[in-house]
Amino acid sequence: MATKKRRKSVERGKYGYLFIAPFFITYLLFQLWPLINTFYYSTLSYYKRNGREIISFAGLENFADILGLTAGERPYVLIYLKNTLIMWGMNFIPQILVSLLMAAWLTNNKVKIRGTGAIKVIIYLPSIITAASVSVLFKAMFSQYGPITKTLRDIGIISENFDFMASVMGTRGLISFILFWMWFGNTSLMLISGVMGIDPGLFEAADIDGANGKKQFFYITLPLLKPILLYTLVTSAIGGLQMYDIPALFNVTETNLQGLPNDTSTTMAMYIMRLYNSNVGKAATVSVFLFAVTLAVSLVLFVSMGDKEAKKLKKAERRRRNEK
Amino acid sequence: MKNKDSYSASLRRQKILRGLVCAFFCALSLGPFLLLAVNATRDSKAIQAGITLIPSTHLLENWKNLLIKQNGMQITLQRAALNSLMITVPGTFCSVYFSSMTAYGVHVYNFKLKKLAWAFIMAVMMVPSQITIIGFYRFMLDLDLVDTYIPLIIPAIASPTVVFFMKQYMESTLSIEIIEASRIDGAGEFHTFNRIVLPILKPAVATQAIFQFIAQWNNLFTPSIMLTTDSKKTLPMFVQLLTSNQFRTDYGVVYVSLFVTIIPLVVAYLILSKYIVAGVALGGVKG
Amino acid sequence: MKKRLFGAVMSAAMVSSFMFGATAFAEEATSEAATEEVVEATVPADVVTGDASSEDAFVVWGWNDDIKKILDGPFAEAYPDLYERIVFVNTGGSDYYQSKLDPVLDDPSNELYPDMMGLEVDYVQKYVNNADWIAAVADLGITEEDMASMYQYNIDLGSDWDGNVRAMFWQATPGCIQVRADLAEKYLGTTDPAELAEMFSSYEKIIETATAVNEASEGKCKLFSGYDELKRMLTNSREVGFYDENDVITLDENIEQYMELAKQMYDADLTYNTAQWSADWTANMNGDGIETNAAIAYMGCPWFTYWCLQPTWQENTILVPTPEQCYWGGTGLAATANCSDTEMAATIMKFITTDVDGMVAINAMNSDFVNNTEALSKIVESGASADGNGYLYADAGQNFIEFFLPLADGIDASTVTAEDQQILSMLDTQVQAYVTGEKDLETAIADLKAAIHDTFDYLTVE
């Protein structure tokens, strides 16, 4: 029976190619080929002047330029990487802490919180809303003469002249806050399902041993959540590196997509958007740089998780899915 | 005895504290929507005066002002929403249908390059579109597809994350016996997939369709590069246009247009929240 | 208990969003009819006006309906047959104009490939220096003689590096300061143009005047909405362009002066620190200076009067010269290299930018200060536009066109480069960083140069 089945599968193997063909054709054409081309463009000096394209081979010059290694060049890409990381970090640290808290509390059977279902639904809500709209909404409320700014001034939380849009911390802080606001619910839900995937027997045994809630959290929940925490960290970091919608609509110049104030809320994706039409070579180089950083971040996941933990994550996920 | 009392007292205190904290985060999540809804009903001057939770009576007036403002903008909100639908609906279909197909191909059949194909899909899962955009844009320029919807729809056929999750789902729910039974009945492979397998995958298809729809509906980066004609722009691009200085003259208008872009999503979410929240565990959208 | 509470919150949220959503959609449905009326009453809602697919369509591009209004009005009257063929593409807003226009210019087979288009001063040089895009007016049969009555600075603006004229302007745009009469009377104590002119005669005086307004109004009213009202006065009277003939970035001393003045105004709280064109900037035009913020004066020019001033300024505007002669804006008309009907292009161009009668008719439409000295003297003689389209404050006894005549004479715009629009936007970023104390002047200047070089690789920092 078993051998028969295998033979049948082999005979039908050609269907496998047919079924996966649309995916691979599309991917090769619309992703891989453009990626290869992006690498190629990054070796060209390719810009427009008065609408005319000026193209010549540049080798690795573009990379030296964007990293500030050439005399007279500023490492803008590093500055924008720093901006991106700061805004991402200021959102991620509170996000993961709050999410852990929510995960611990909402799964706790001893101190039961009523309405967990409703809480989950509510805190997840912001993450499905169009980031562009959210950004504009926050901008309208926190602008120089916006209603929240006005109210904060009236009750004396900020000084009469404080302007979020002219303050580096104000703007970056608000962008980070928007990111936090949008994503903490999502992360909480991920961690909650992670906690629910932990064998309940472990907690029961800990109870018998007299370990209190705090101890259980630090010695059982946290270590077992490590794979999913790392997964969250890496997906969030990769998403964060591509950050575009929110800073691009929040506090920018009209014509050049500079993140105000003082270019401190400009991200790498905004830099690519600024250059994609006027300076193809440089824009491609920035993309390749972004690719390298993203790749490095992904590798961190695989290295630090190791094979064992990756398997654990898979197992945990499968169990979770089976429960559904 | 005393010990027990203090234990239950501290339990109660804990309960209250945790309830309050959770209530705070719920309020935080809902607050901006509430302010948005209230501000959409107020006039520009009142909005500038500060925040309040008491609605006013200017909703209709703001909406009318938006309609007037739109005339100078070359695109209306309704049109932008329609454009978004025209991209998102086929895009969602492409990504979910072809991803199921791909996952099925890898899951059910044995072929030489199977392992390699799967490794490839896993490897490219994390590659974001921002990275290939320059090459993609130049390629679309060469094909004369810039300023059309094709570059926004067709690439959705290759959605590695959706493939990944469809395959995970198949591993737990799709038994080879059902497929064998269909084959014995003489059904062709594609017929089996479309008529027998897809219905079994329905729950996963629905979840992934919702997430794909949300992700594509909210996309701003790629459409910003691909679309140049105003009348073809999508809803997030409309929102961006609205904030450009030429049009940003009336706060009431800004709020009412944000209101009509955001609130339908909120309502749809609340209706579908059961499926969405359950689907997050399956790895939904992430930004 | 708590469960009930959350249930209540949830259902309240649901119900309210449903209600709001439903009303919004109901309104959408019911106001459909109302929309139609509005559309007809104001400007057409479509991007493209006319049938682009017709055989003899003549496509004209603009970023607003400025040119369209002229074509619809005076031109349609003079050439009804030609007018029938015009297809107008309005891209709505000048920020994205170039990114929309450029791909189409590279693609003459496009149905909407322009036969003719409008180009703003800040980037007109980019287009006139690309002969693949733009035709020389000499090739359209327009001679130097036709341009005899034009202001020289406008001819320079429309000429490429070799001196061929490729774009022509219908308006001259001398800069001025526009003062709101009711507020001037209240806080500056006068509505006499000469006295006001004295208060704006130098940058030091402007600072003094702004300080006086702060004191007189106890900070409730300001002279300017933002310090950037000074920007155009200084950047558009530069003697040095943003780069020299070797493509080395150069900054006129006016740039530094502007930064210093802006800082002075910011530190002394002399303005509301709004950005030009922002919602707050517009709102301050309408304020009463008691309950709502209001600004007394705005940087202006002839087109600013009919294009930007709010109703509050009707019969309430006094004109004052800027400390230095400057210009602000202006739209050039150019025919494309692959123009389908050069004869028609020439006819339109001549009518709008060289024909005395045509330009008198344009002036009659919106009081614009036309780019033709002969037409201007005719207008002054006839007494047309004396009240500046109804905006001038009658008691000040000013004549709109006459006021601008001396200011337009001898404007020098030879410093304008193709990259001005973007460079000026980068300047804003650095000025903001400097005035808020983020960095010192030297750093701001160095950062500006670096940013220019980063965006335009071919321009170098020495």
Quick: pLDDT tens for B28-55: 999 999 999 999 999 887 887 788 888 8
Return the number of CB contacts < 8 Å for B and C: 105
Query: Torsion over CA of C384, C385, C390 and C394, rounded to 10 degrees?
Result: -80
Superfamily in which the B72-248 domain is placed by CATH: MetI-like (1.10.3720.10)
Helix and strand numbers (H, E) in chain A are: 15, 2
Q: Which residues contact B112 (CB under 8 A, 6 or more apart)?
A: A13
**If one looks up domain C48-172+329-382 in CATH, what number appears?**
3.40.190.10
By residue count, chain C amounts to 462
Nearest beta carbon to residue C35 from set B67, B141, B266: B67
Confidence of residue C122 (pLDDT cuts 50, 70, 90): confident
**Chain A contact for C10, CB < 8 A?**
yes
Per-residue pLDDT for B237 more than 70? yes
**Is the pLDDT assigned to residue A300 strictly greater than 80?**
no
Query: What is the b/e burial string over A119-146, where b = at least 16 CB atoms within 10 angstroms of the residue's CB?
Result: bbbbbbbbbbbbbbbbbbbbbbbbbbbb
pLDDT of residue A10: 47
Identify which has the larger pLDDT, C7 or A50.
Answer: A50
- Chain A interface includes C273 (CB < 8 A): yes
Strand order in the sheet with C168-169: C48-49, C86-90, C58-62, C116-120, C331-335, C168-169
CATH H-level superfamily of A77-130+182-323: MetI-like (1.10.3720.10)
Which pLDDT tens digit goes with each residue over A247-289? 999 998 878 889 989 999 999 999 999 999 889 999 999 999 9
Q: What is the CA radius of gyration of chain C?
A: 24
pLDDT (mean) for C261-272? 95
Residue A320: per-residue pLDDT? 53
pTM of the model: 0.87
Q: Is B243 on the interface with C (CB under 8 A)?
A: no
Residues 6+ apart with CB under 8 A from B181: none
pLDDT, mean of residues C290-298: 90
Residue C267 token pair = 């530190």
Count the neighbouring beta carbons within 10 Å of the beta carbon of residue A201. Answer: 8
Q: What is the spatial distance between Cα C348 and Cα C141, in angstroms, rounded to a whole number?
A: 12
CA dist C214 and C296 (Å) reads 11
Rounded Cα gap, residues A90 and C363, in angstroms: 57
Q: Among C31, C39, C100, whose Cβ lies nearest the Cβ of B63? A: C31
Which one of A44, A47, A50 would you mutate to disrupt binding with C, by most C Cβ within 10 Å of its Cβ? A50
pLDDT of residue A317: 56
- The mean pLDDT of chain B is 86
Among the partner-chain residues C425, C432, C460, the one whose CB lies closest to the CB of A256 is: C425
pLDDT at C324: 92
For chain C, give every residue range classified as CATH 3.40.190.10.
Answer: 48-172+329-382, 176-326+389-455
Q: How far apart are CA A28 and CA A25, in angstroms?
A: 5
pLDDT of residue C30: 36
Residue with tokens 């004066």: C297
Confidence of residue C29 (pLDDT cuts 50, 70, 90): very low
pLDDT attached to residue A324: 41
pLDDT reported for residue A121 = 92
Its CATH architecture, for the domain C176-326+389-455, is: 3-Layer(aba) Sandwich (3.40)
ipTM of the complex: 0.89
User: Residue B281's pLDDT is what?
Assistant: 64
Domain ranges of chain A: 77-130+182-323
Question: Would you state the torsion angle of the CA atoms of residues C145, C151, C156, C162, taken in this order, to the nearest 10 degrees?
Answer: 10
* Segment B241-247 mean pLDDT: 67
CB atoms within 10 A of CB C132: 13
pLDDT tier, C223 (very low <50, low <70, confident <90, very high otherwise) = very high
Lookup: tokens for A148: 């929240």
Position B246 confidence tier, pLDDT thresholds 50, 70, 90: low
Strand ranges (E), C77-205: 86-90, 116-120, 168-169, 176-180
Residue A3: pLDDT above 90? no
Q: Model confidence at C5, in pLDDT bands (50, 70, 90)?
A: very low
Rounded Cα distance, C263 and B260, in Å? 41
CA A17, CA A21: separation in Å to the nearest integer? 6
- A48: β partners: A53
Which residue in this structure is represented by tokens 């036969």? C115
Chain C contact residues (CB < 8 Å to B): 2, 6, 9-10, 13-14, 16-18, 20-21, 23-24, 27-28, 31, 34-35, 38-39, 42-47, 90-96, 99-100, 103, 275, 277-279, 282-283, 292
List pLDDT tens digits, range C430-458.
999 999 999 999 999 999 999 999 999 99
With contact defined as beta carbons under 8 Å apart, do A18 and B104 qualify?
Answer: no
Q: Quick one: what percent of chain B has pLDDT higher than 90?
A: 38
pLDDT exceeds 60 at position B107: yes
Amino acid at residue number B101: M
Q: Using an 8 Å CB-CB cutoff, list chain A residues near B189.
A: 12, 15, 18
Contacts of B278 (CB under 8 A, 6+ apart): A324, B207
pLDDT at A312: 59
Determine whether the interchain pair A258/C105 forms a contact, defined as Cβ–Cβ distance below 8 Å.
Answer: no
Q: Is the pLDDT of residue C31 over 80?
A: no
Q: Residue A56: which pLDDT band, with cuts at 50, 70 and 90?
A: very high
Name the phi and psi angles at A46, rounded to 5.
-140, 95
Which pLDDT belongs to residue B56? Answer: 87
3-state DSSP call for residue A119?
helix
Q: What is the mean pLDDT of chain C?
A: 86
pLDDT band at C183 (very low <50, low <70, confident <90, very high): very high
Confidence of residue B244 (pLDDT cuts 50, 70, 90): low
Q: What is the mean pLDDT of residues B192-215?
A: 90
Burial class (CB in 10 A: 0-12, 13-18, 19+), C144: exposed
| CA dihedral for A31, A32, A33, A39, sign (positive or negative) | positive
Other beta carbons within 10 angstroms of residue A147's beta carbon come to 24
